[in-house]
Amino acid sequence: MNISFTSSGLTNSAVVDSTTGQLLFELSTPLLGLHRNTTLRDAQNNVIGVYKRGTIHDEVTYQGRTMRVSEWLLKNSVFSSSDIDAEVQLVDCQTGELVANAHSKKLFSTKKMNMDVVQNGLPILDAIVLSFLICELRLRREQDAANAAAAGASG
């Protein structure tokens, strides 16, 4: 199954089945306070999970359980700050099998950010979307920090 994000911002986006256009999930991030929480809701508007970016550490709540992101994502991904066409691959930590492969939107492309999810990943699609959100936002944060450092070094 291929799913698409309707907004490149991710934090306020619908997640749809790329083939049918059916709404699967919605991501929303209210602009309140210093700490931003992104909530994942299913098509029936039920809260599936929340990603909370914190000063010291980030947290994720899924199925009523809150934990640090380092506990949720057992292996931190290594990202290249210069890689505009970065891909995120999500692997089932119990089986070692690839469950999803996400393709970031290319610069100036009209193609939406999308993700291929294997059949075995469909029962945990909500966890896959939440994990991808976290990985992608962390990648963007690292890229922003690298860009700011490069701009500071050259200025």
Mean pLDDT, residues 74-103: 67
Query: What residue type is 107 in one-letter code?
Result: L
Provide the pLDDT confidence category of residue 81 given band limits of 50, 70 and 90.
very low
Distance CA 155, CA 151 (A): 6
Domain boundaries, the chain: 2-153
What does the block give as tokens for 18?
Answer: 């790329």
Q: Which of 90, 78, 83 is nearest to 107 (CA)?
A: 83
Number of CB atoms found within 10 A of residue 143's CB:
17
What is the rounded average pLDDT for all residues in the chain?
83
Answer whether residue 60 shows pLDDT above 80.
yes
Say what the pLDDT of residue 96 is.
82
Tens of pLDDT along 61-79?
A: 999 999 999 888 876 443 3
Which one is predicted more confidently, 113 or 19?
A: 19
Say what the pLDDT of residue 82 is.
38
Distance CA 139, CA 33 (A): 23
Say what the pLDDT of residue 76 is.
47
Q: Are strands 65-68 and 59-62 parallel, antiparallel or unpaired?
A: antiparallel
Tens of pLDDT along 2-59?
A: 999 998 778 899 999 999 999 999 999 987 766 689 999 999 999 999 999 888 889 9
Answer whether residue 86 shows pLDDT above 70.
no
Burial 24-49 (b: 16+ CB within 10 A, else e): bbbbebeeeeeeebbbbbbeeeeebb
Provide the pLDDT confidence category of residue 85 given band limits of 50, 70 and 90.
low
What pTM did the predictor assign? 0.82
Number of CB atoms found within 10 A of residue 131's CB:
23
Domain 2-153 in CATH 2.40.10: no
